[in-house]
Structure 1
């Protein structure tokens, strides 16, 4: 963890990450000492800082620190947090002069069983607030996801949750983006008002375009997924998983999954 050019061991309790969740983060896979999709993760952090008006500029140093942190680790999760730093009392960021950057390594989760058996989705009663200013970026305010995850924990037969926004539109899962196939048509959700635009989602959209596969970005209600032939979810760590069940609907096709799992190998 470091503030500007000074490494530190502890974060100050006055840091705005602690006080207000004032910052952004990304979570990357470390494989064989390398940070997968490091450019995509840095790009998203830059976009988030621009949106939040956080004056972080030492991107080359951050990239170097990410690579050094990941080196010599066979398989791990690298989490990078950028906070606005320490300011005066109150909400105003005007007294913040130095950003805080936190890098941490975490154990890599296993998705083998879910990849083989498929993911069971439950519909979350917690809905995402619509806010175009914050939509798409991975800011530090994750209370909605905490509440969604708490709901998942109450269901032994659920691995993830399908999340709607406050107008009933399908947005994402608690920790993953979502794609689905109906016939030959492929879809993903519009994230203009809520949700996180994940690095794997971006990668898959770009790769499908190169393959001549049209993925329609749509704003739909849950019925569109219930009637779909296949659903998959994705994030930087999974990287993709097939969905076997949404509420009472069973999905047994893996046509889209088989297409995208090969694409993910390029990430």
Structure 2
């Protein structure tokens, strides 16, 4: 782990991340010593800092640090956190003069390989995401909803969760975005009220568009997903997984999964 460029694991207890969950982050795949979709991850952090009004980092320095962390790694997970830095007791950022950047490497999640073969089993989570268009789409540090969702997933022995918002609209999974297909029509949630606009979601939507295949943004219901011909989930690490079951409903088709997986293979080869 590196904090502000130094190899260390000690973070000030007064850092805004500790006190208020004030900050944003991204999680990137490292393969063959390279950060996959590095520019997209940097853009996510830039967007997060801009919308949260966090002072801009030295983006070239951060990019160099990310490349240095990835160098020599055959396969790993790189997480980058940006915060306004240490501050006072209250909510005000007054006096926050030294932003914090945290980079850490973690082992590759080997279970995704098995799930690509057998498919993921989802449950519908009882935890509903709060609607908040001010923060919708961002990968900010306030992740308590996801922590509670993951607790339920673990207690049920499932792989992931289908997550709705407080209005009953399908948003995402706990740590993934989702697509579903009816016939030749592909859908993904709109994410204007809640959820994370994932790096892989954006990449796959761009790939579909390049192939002349539109992806419809929708405020879909749980029933719409359960009635789909096929459901696929994605994030920067999976990168895509077929869904074999949601609650008691089973899915067998893998047409969209194979198409999206091929797009990811092209990404890794580039």
Aligned residue for 1:224?
224
Aligned residue for 2:19?
19
Aligned residue for 2:183?
183
Give the 5 Å matches for 1:1-267: 1-3=2-4, 7=6, 9=8, 10-110=10-110, 111-156=112-157, 158-267=158-267
Q: What number of residue pairs does the alignment pair up?
A: 264
| SS of residue matched to 1:133 | coil
- TM-score, length-scaled by structure 1: 0.97
CA–CA separation in structure 2 for the residues paired with 1:7 and 1:159: 36
Q: Deviations over 1:121-177 (max 9, x none)?
A: 100000100101111010001000000000011112x11000000000000000000
| SS of residue matched to 2:146 | helix
CA–CA separation in structure 2 for the residues paired with 1:57 and 1:24: 12
| SS of residue matched to 1:188 | strand
Following superposition, which runs of at least 4 residues in structure 1 exceed 2 angstroms of deviation?
6-9
CA–CA separation in structure 1 for the residues paired with 2:113 and 2:205: 24
Offset at 1:56?
Answer: 2.1
- TM-score, length-scaled by structure 2: 0.96
Q: Deviations over 1:14-62 (max 9, x none)?
A: 0011111100000000001000000000000000000000002300000
Instruction: Specify every segment of 5 or more residues in structure 1 that has no aligned partner in the other structure, as ranges.
Output: none
Q: Deviations over 1:200-225 (max 9, x none)?
A: 00000011101000100000110101
CA–CA separation in structure 2 for the residues paired with 1:147 and 1:2: 28
